[in-house]
Structure formats: C-alpha cells, structure tokens
Amino acid sequence: MFRSLSQRTFNALTSEDNGQVDKNISENSYNDQPKNFMIHIMSLSLTKTADGLIDPKLILSWILSSLGAPVYFIGMLVPVREAGALLPQLFIAGFLKSRPKRKYAWVLGSVIQGVCAVGLGISVLILEGFSLGVAIIGLLALLATARSICSVSYKDVLGKTVDRSNRGTATGAASSMAAAFVILYALLVTSGIFDKQSLITMGLFLAGICWISSSLLFSTLTEEESDIEGKNSPIDIARENLEYLLQDRQLILFIVTRGLLMATALAPPFMIALAINSVTDYAGLGLMLLASSLAGLSSGYIWGRLADRSSRKVLMLSGLLAGSALLVTVIFALAGTLETAWLMPVILYALMVSYQGVRLGRSTHLVDMADENRRAPYTALSNTIIGTLLLAGGGFSFVAAAFGEIAVLGIFSGMCFLSMISAYFLTEAQS
C-alpha cells in the first residue's frame, strides 16, 4: 500500500514520465525511487519542522531574553548554530568515505539533535539566567555538530537515491510541508489562547520528537552500498579535499556565490533591531515566525522545481530578491517609517523567500555538479569554508555598533547583488 501511495505521490509531484527520464542513478535505485522519494519528503519535513520550533534567531533568543540570560549569550546563538553545523564537515566527510551506507550517519545525527532539543526543553523548565544561557549554548553547539553529520551524509544519500531531475522537488516539497505546520504554531503563539511560555517550551519537546521520528523513518530508506575509502587519516583527507579548490574553478565560484549569499542568514537580527516593535514580546515573535513560515510554505516547492531546471538561475534570482529586500529596508529606515506594524514582517517575508531559494539552489547545485566520488568532499569543503566565514561574520556586530544597523544592511544588500555576478558564471549543473 505504501509503495502504491508513494508511486502516485511521486508521479503527481514530479510529472514523471518513465519514457523521457534520463536515469543518472543505478537501475535498482531508480526502481526504488518512488518509495525513497516519499521517505525523503517525510523525513525532511519532520526535521525542518523541528528547525522551525527551535529557531535560534527567534525562539531561543526570546527564551534567553525573557528568562534573564546575559545578552552576550543571545549574540552567540546564530554563530554557534550556523558555524557549528558547518565547520566539522571537512573531517566528517572523511569518515563517511569509510561507510558503505551513509544513511546511518544521518540517522545518528538526527537522534542526537532530538536528544538535544529535549534537553533544551528541560533546561527551560528548571534553569534561568546565566545557567540557562550556558545550558542552551552548550546544547545548541552539540545539536549543530550533529546537524553537520546530517548535512554531509544527506546530500550523498540524496544523490544516490533520487535522480537529478527530482532532487530539488523532494527538498522543496518537504520545506513547504514543514512551513505549513510552523505557520499553525506561529498562529497559536500570536493568538493568546494558550500560555505562551508553556507553548514555546512544549515546542522544544515536540522538536525532539520530530527529529527522533525522522531518524526511524530515514533508516527504512533503500540505499545501495558505496565504495569504501578509509585508509587515510582525517587530516590527510582534509588536505586532499582542499586540493579540489585548485582543480575545479566551478567549485570556487560556487563557494564565492554562497559566501556572498550568507548575508540572507545574517541579516534578520539586524533588521529586527531596526524595528520599533520588539520581537521579544509574544505578538512580535508570532508575527516573525508567521512571516518566515509563510515564506517557506509559499516558495519552497516552487524554488525546488525551478532548481531542478536551473539551480544557477535560482541562485541569481535569490540574490536579486534578497538584495532588493535589504535595500528597501535601508530606504524605509532612512525615511523613518519602519514603525509601521506590518512593514517589517512583509520585508522579512521577502527576505525569507530569497533565503529559501538560496538553500534549495545551493543544495541542488552542489549535488548535481559533483559526481558520487566528489559529492561528499565538495559538500564538506564548501560548508567548512562558509562556517569559517560565518564566524568572521560576527564582526558585523562591531560594524553595527560603530556605524549602525543601516550600514550593515547596506553591506548585506551589496553582497547579495554581487552574488548574481558570480552565480552568472556558474555552469548549468542540470545540463
């Protein structure tokens, strides 16, 4: 029954025509693709829902500020979450080469994230102030490390189990499904029907359940064994991976494009700082969650389908939209009109639509541009470099302190527009 439902869903989402598809995965994997396609969507929708329920930029920052944690802990949330998920990947990729089936690495990472989310919920119940800050940052760091395991392994498994023409569709559909759930959650937070602190704490526990459930589901994926490469030390493997930068000009262009587009992830806290209405109150928190979730729901599947046709153009369009949204923010800030209640959520919506495009475009492009032997190293190498840049991105806080948030957002807008140039010179990975 599940196989039949999977086939019907697969055909509906992909408009699959077996007579026209260019098979770029093995024959066995192609035959198992409808079932695997469904498992990818269901597993990813659970993990993306969990991500929304513990969003460091909104949920965890509100928790820390409302329960009396020192402000510097709030400033550590995004760097710890983003860089911690990226920096270890260069070494994790070496470990994956010694594993014939990489899905189990993803399962392990998802279980650890689930345990950490439950730990976050317990910390909120029993701690406050400085001790709460230490607990949340520590658990977030462990969660981010586990996420790095999932990130490297997922792209490798996706490339082996779903053909090139449908990978973006799978991830895009999962993004839209997760966004729909988080929208309901945001509406509950905004409504005032339930006690807000209890609702947000329950969300942390629910995130843990989502991650653990996704790990059980993903373990049922049908994955063929890969060739094992495990003779070199992690340091040697990292050195070998770095050599790819000298061999592949397209990889350099991809990393430059992605590095410029990381402005879409760094910008929201500075945008919020400009708003008159603080997001630390319940209504503001709900509106920001709602804007972010609506962006994922309305654009995830569309970006995914577009990425299956040209991930390069998706990156270019995302840079244009993000640069424009940030430029509009700067213009309204200079005009002194940001106090309009609906304005910042609308601009944030546009930015998060572009952020969805960046995530789906970069993921699809990287999977499609590399063959099976280079997919994991390319993922790890690019993520490690971006993680380092994100840590350095903490310096924008000093720029904001010296020149104001408007100056920082102006820089971010310029970075997004520049990304269109580097993305233009990328090859069409789907060709």
Model confidence pLDDT, tens digit, residues 314-340? 999 999 999 999 999 999 888 877 776
What are the residue ranges spanned by the domains of the chain? Answer: 32-221+233-424
H or E element that contains 181: helix 167-191
Using pLDDT thresholds of 50, 70 and 90, give the confidence band for residue 232. Answer: low
Q: Among all chains, which residue has been given the structure tokens 């991105």?
A: 393
The percent of residues above 90 in pLDDT, for the chain, comes to 31
Average pLDDT estimate for 221-232:
66
Q: Which pLDDT tens digit goes with each residue over 182-198? A: 888 988 887 777 777 88
Phi and psi (nearest 5°) for 260?
A: -70, -35
Average pLDDT estimate for 78-96:
78
Distance CA 194, CA 417 (A): 43
Q: Is residue 420 pLDDT above 70, yes or no?
A: yes
* pLDDT score of 17: 47
- Maximum distance among all alpha carbons in the chain? 62
Summarize the chain as % helix, strand, coil (round to 5). Answer: 80, 0, 20
Q: State the angle between helix axes of 33-53 and 196-218 in degrees (0 to 180), rounded to the nearest 10.
A: 160
Distance CA 157, CA 167 (A): 11
Q: Yes or no: say if 200 and 102 are a contact pair by the CB < 8 Å rule.
A: no
Q: Class for domain 32-221+233-424, per CATH? A: mainly alpha
Q: Would you state the structure tokens that stand for residue 271, as one six-digit string?
A: 């945008």
* pLDDT score of 311: 92
Using pLDDT thresholds of 50, 70 and 90, give the confidence band for residue 279. Answer: very low
* pLDDT score of 79: 78
* pLDDT score of 97: 67
Average model confidence (pLDDT) for the chain? Answer: 82
* pLDDT score of 20: 47
Going from the C-alpha of 158 to that of each of 38, 146, 362, the distances in angstroms are 12, 18, 14
Q: Yes or no: say if 179 and 50 are a contact pair by the CB < 8 Å rule.
A: no
Average pLDDT estimate for 364-374:
82
User: Which of 204-213, 218-227, 263-272 has maximum average pLDDT?
Assistant: 204-213
Q: Yes or no: say if 114 and 54 are a contact pair by the CB < 8 Å rule.
A: no
More confident residue, 142 or 430: 142
* pLDDT score of 16: 53
Q: Which pLDDT tens digit goes with each residue over 119-131? A: 999 999 999 889 9
Average pLDDT estimate for 157-175:
79
User: Which residue, among 288, 201, 240, has the nearest Cα to 90 in the 3D structure?
Assistant: 240
* pLDDT score of 177: 86
28-37, 252-261, 350-359: which range is least confident on average?
Answer: 28-37
Which of helix, strand or coil describes residue 194? coil
Q: pTM of the predicted model, to two decimals?
A: 0.74
Distance CA 176, CA 26 (A): 29
Q: Which pLDDT tens digit goes with each residue over 23-54? A: 566 666 566 678 888 888 899 999 999 999 99
Distance CA 284, CA 275 (A): 10
Q: Is residue 201 pLDDT above 50, yes or no?
A: yes
